[in-house]
Amino acid sequence: MMINIKNFMIKKIVNKINYILKINFRKIFYYLRFFKNKKKSHWNVKNFDNYQEYINFQKEKTLDQNRRSKWLNDEWDEKVNYFDSIFKKLFKEINLDIKSKCLCIGARTGQEVHALQKLGFSAIGIDIVECKPLVEIGDMHNLKYSDNSFDFVFTNILDHSLYPDKSIAEIERVLKKNGHVFLQITVGEATDKYGVTEIKSEKGIIKLFKKSEIIFSKSIKHYSIAQNWEILSKKNY
CATH of the domain at 148: 3.40.50.150
Residues 22 and 96 in one domain: no
Pick the more confident residue, 12 or 223: 12
Residues 156 and 86 in one domain: yes
Residues 73 and 124 in one domain: yes
The full DSSP string for 189-231 is: S---TT--EEES-HHHHHTT-SSEEEEEEEE---SSSS--EEE
What residues are paired with 102 via a beta bridge? Answer: 123, 152
Structural contact between residues 126 and 108, judged by C-beta atoms closer than 8 angstroms: no
Residues 48 and 105 in one domain: yes
Structural contact between residues 90 and 121, judged by C-beta atoms closer than 8 angstroms: no
Residues 6 and 123 in one domain: no
Rounded CA separation 60/196 (Å): 13
- Mean pLDDT estimate for the chain: 90
> pTM for the whole thing?
0.87
Residues 132 and 146 in one domain: yes
Residues 98 and 17 in one domain: no
Structural contact between residues 108 and 127, judged by C-beta atoms closer than 8 angstroms: yes
**Number of folded domains that form the chain:** 2
**pLDDT tens-digit series, residues 178-205:** 999 999 999 998 888 899 999 999 999 9
Q: Which domain holds residue 181?
A: 42-235
Rounded CA separation 112/86 (Å): 10
